[in-house]
Structure formats: C-alpha cells, structure tokens
Structure 1
C-alpha cells in the first residue's frame, strides 16, 4: 500500500509543477520548476505540427530529454521537458 501512496504523491507533485509551469509560461523571466528527482523543466512553444519543439528540447539537452507534458492549444504546441541525467 505504501508504494501506491508514494506513486500518487509523486504524481501529484509532478502535476503541481506542470500546472505552475503552464501558468507561468507567459513569463519569460520565471525560474525553472523541478521534478521530484531534482531535474529542472523547460517549456517551449512552437506551431502545432512542426518538429521545432522537439528540436529545441534536443538542442537544449544535448540530445537526451524526457517529455513531461505536451498539449496543443490554438495551433500552438506546448512542450514541457526535462533533460536526462548524463550517464556515469
């Protein structure tokens, strides 16, 4: 049972962070928000149907990133991503 509660607590934290990112998306000087594992998240926006957001995320992370959330609103793709940790 503890494992299930931990999963929901972690998911709630991620959703809260994602919600805050979306709310602050229009603020260009806002500080990054962090995932429970400590990685910073970044929001990029591009025209829906293009691969520009993926290219921006890959460039910002030197290739390896995880999509935290993506949505499309009014012809704009919103992509929240976090760079993967470098392999040790």
Structure 2
C-alpha cells in the first residue's frame, strides 16, 4: 500500500499539534485557593528533608506565615502556606 507524502505530513502535523497542547496543559497554573479569612494560599514543592520550602515561604511572607498543609510523597515535600496578616 502506497502512502503519499501529504498523508505523512498531515499525520506528523497532527501529532505535533497534539504534543503542543499537552505540553501547554502541563504548564498551566490554577488560581490560588483562599482561607476562610480571605488570605490566599501558596503551594511550593521541594526535596523532602531540605529547608528550601520553608525558606521560600519565609522570604515570600517576610518571615510570618502559617502552614496550612504539608505532605511528603516520593521524596518531594509539598507545603501549602498562607502569609500572616501584617500587624497594625
């Protein structure tokens, strides 16, 4: 069975388009979730056992943040935090 060059070109184009859509989908971000008091939360991930997650939270919140949830899965620490409200 002979296939024309245009058949393969269309098929390659379709595969490239599908790959681009999948790649862009992996880069999407979602809107932040908010606590009941209105503060936005932030998710950071880092290697388990390192202090980089807490360092990121501290730097982002000028040292004052609350841990909402943290978990470790497969050597990765996921930390969800919210910056504390500024003192008045």
Q: Do they superpose with TM above 0.5?
A: yes
Query: Which contiguous aligned blocks of 4+ residues in structure 1 show a shift greater than 6 angstroms?
Result: none
Cα offset, 1:67, TM superposition: 0.1
Q: What residue in structure 2 maps to residue 34 of structure 1?
A: 34
Gaps of 5+ in 1: 1-25
- TM-score, with normalisation over the residues of structure 1? 0.68
Q: What pairs up with 1:16-31 in 2 under 5 angstroms?
A: 28-31=28-31
Q: What is the Cα-based RMSD across aligned positions, in Å?
A: 1.3
Cα offset, 1:31, TM superposition: 1.0
CA shift digits 1:8-50 (9 cap, x unpaired):
xxxxxxxxxxxxxxxxxx7652111100000000000000000
Q: What residue in structure 2 maps to residue 44 of structure 1?
A: 44
Q: Distance in 2 between matches of 1:28 and 1:51?
A: 26
Q: What pairs up with 1:8-87 in 2 under 5 angstroms?
A: 28-87=28-87
- TM-score, with normalisation over the residues of structure 2? 0.68
- Partner-residue secondary structure (3-state), 1:29: coil
Aligned length: 63
